[in-house]
Amino acid sequence: MKHYKIIIIGGGSAAMGAALKANETGIDAKDILIIEKSEYLGGILNQCIHTGFGLSEFKEELTGPEYANRFIVQIKEKGIPYLLSTMVISINLDKTVEIRSVNGDEILSYDALIIATGCIERSPGAIKLNGYRCAGIMTAGQAQNYLNNLGYLPGKKVFILGSGDIGLIMARRMTLEGAKVIGVAELMSYSNGLKRNIVQCLEDYNIPLYLSTTVKETIGKNRLEKIILASVDEKLNFIPGTEKEVECDTLLLSVGLIPNVNILSKLNLNKDKTGKFIIDEKCETSREGIYICGNSLHVHDLVDEVTKESRIAGYFAAKYVLEGETKDDVIPVTHNENVGYVVPNVLNKNYRGNVSIKFRCRRPMRNVTVIIKDNTNTFKSIKKMAIIPSEMQNISFNVSNDIDSYLNVEIKENE
Amino acid sequence: MKDVIIIGAGAVGCFLARELSRYNLDILVLEKNNDVGNGASSANSAIIHSGYDPKPNSLKAKLNVEGCAMFDELSKELDFHFFKIGSLTLAFNEEENKTLKELQNRGELNGVSTSILSKEETLNLEPNLNDNVYSSLFAPTAGIVDCFNMCAHTMENAIDNGVNLKLDEEVIDITHQNDKILVKTNKDIYESRIVINAAGLASDKIARLFDKDFKLTIEPRKGEYYVLDNDFDLVNHVCFVVPSKLGKGVLVSKTSSNNYIIGPNNVETTSIDDVSTDNESLIDIKNKSSKTLKVSPIYKTIRVFAGNRAHLVNYDDFYIEPSKLNPNFINLVGIESPGLTSSPAIAKYVINEFISKLIKLDLKSNFNPYVKKYIVMKDIKSVEEKDKIIKSNPEYGKIICSCECVSLGEINDVLSRSVPINSIKALKKRLRTGYGRCQGGFCQPLLAGILAKHKDIDLKDILYSEDDSNILKERAK
pLDDT tens figures, A183-205: 999 999 998 888 889 999 999 99
pLDDT surpassing 90 at residue A90: yes
pLDDT surpassing 70 at residue B222: yes
pLDDT surpassing 90 at residue A273: no
A117 CA: distance to closest CA in chain B (Å): 12
pLDDT computed for residue A302 by the predictor: 93
- How sure is the predictor about A310, in pLDDT bands with cuts at 50, 70 and 90? very high
Mean pLDDT score, B445-460: 96
pLDDT tens digits, residue range B400-435?
A: 999 899 999 999 999 999 999 999 999 999 999 988
CA atoms within 13 A on the CB side of B298: 16
Mean pLDDT score, B20-42: 97
Paired with A45 in beta bridges are none
CA atoms within 13 A on the CB side of B216: 27
pLDDT computed for residue B32 by the predictor: 97
Distance CA B204, CA B213 (A): 11
| Nearest Cα to Cα of residue A382 among A398, A364, A394 | A394
Q: Does the beta-carbon distance from A126 to B227 stay under 8 Å?
A: no
pLDDT surpassing 80 at residue B236: yes
Measure CB to CB from residue B402 to each of A37, A133, A150 and give the nearest one.
Answer: A37
Query: CA of B231: which chain A residue's CA is closest?
Result: A265
Q: Does the beta-carbon distance from A126 to B302 stay under 8 Å?
A: yes
DSSP string, A235-279: TS-B-TT--EEEE-SEEEE---EEE--GGGGGG---B-TTSPBP-
CA angle, residues B209, B210, B216, in degrees to nearest 5? 75
Phi-psi region of B434 (alpha: psi -120 to 50; beta: other; left: phi over 0): left
Is residue B260 within a helix (H) or strand (E), and if so which, with residue range? strand B260-263
| pLDDT-wise least confident of A302-311, A371-380, B17-26, B245-254 | B245-254
Between the alpha carbon of residue B124 and those of residues B133, B235, B251, the distances in Å are 12, 11, 19
pLDDT computed for residue A320 by the predictor: 97
Helix (H, G, I), strand (E, B) or coil at B148: helix
Measure CB to CB from residue B459 to each of A129, A152, A178 and give the nearest one.
Answer: A152
The answer to whether the peptide bond before residue B220 is cis (omega within 30 degrees of 0) is no
Q: Does the beta-carbon distance from B445 to A262 stay under 8 Å?
A: no
**Contacts A–B by Cβ distance under 8 A:** 162
Mean pLDDT score across all residues of chain B = 95
pLDDT surpassing 70 at residue B246: no
Measure CB to CB from residue B303 to each of A102, A125, A262 and give the nearest one.
Answer: A125
State the catalytic residues of B: 49
pLDDT computed for residue B415 by the predictor: 98
pLDDT surpassing 80 at residue A116: yes
| pLDDT-wise least confident of A245-254, A319-328, B188-197, B424-433 | A319-328
Q: What is Dmax (Cα atoms) for chain B? A: 70
Distance CA A264, CA A91 (A): 7
Distance CA A51, CA B166 (A): 51
Query: CA of B286: which chain A residue's CA is closest?
Result: A128
Full-model pTM: 0.93
Distance CA A293, CA A44 (A): 15
Is the sign of the CA dihedral B337, B342, B344, B350 positive or negative? Answer: negative
A380 CA: distance to closest CA in chain B (Å): 35
Terminal CA-CA length for chain B: 52
A101 CA: distance to closest CA in chain B (Å): 4
Distance CA A128, CA B303 (A): 7
Name chain B contacts of A155, Cβ cutoff 8 Å.
473
Query: CA of B390: which chain A residue's CA is closest?
Result: A104
Listing from the earlier edge strand, what are the strands of the sheet with A353-361?
A339-343, A353-361, A393-399
pLDDT surpassing 70 at residue A331: yes
pLDDT computed for residue B83 by the predictor: 98
Distance CA A348, CA A355 (A): 11
Q: Does the beta-carbon distance from A138 to B438 stay under 8 Å?
A: no
Distance CA B128, CA B148 (A): 28
Name chain B contacts of A103, Cβ cutoff 8 Å.
390, 394, 397
Q: Residue B373: which residues within 8 A CB-CB, separation 6 or more?
A: B79
Q: Residue B108: which residues within 8 A CB-CB, separation 6 or more?
A: none
- DSSP single-letter state for residue A37: S
Q: Are the C-beta atoms of B227 and B37 separated by less than 8 Å?
A: no
Name chain A contacts of B279, Cβ cutoff 8 Å.
128, 130, 216, 238
A152 CA: distance to closest CA in chain B (Å): 4
Measure CB to CB from residue A102 to each of B390, B442, B459 and give the nearest one.
Answer: B390
- How sure is the predictor about B387, in pLDDT bands with cuts at 50, 70 and 90? very high
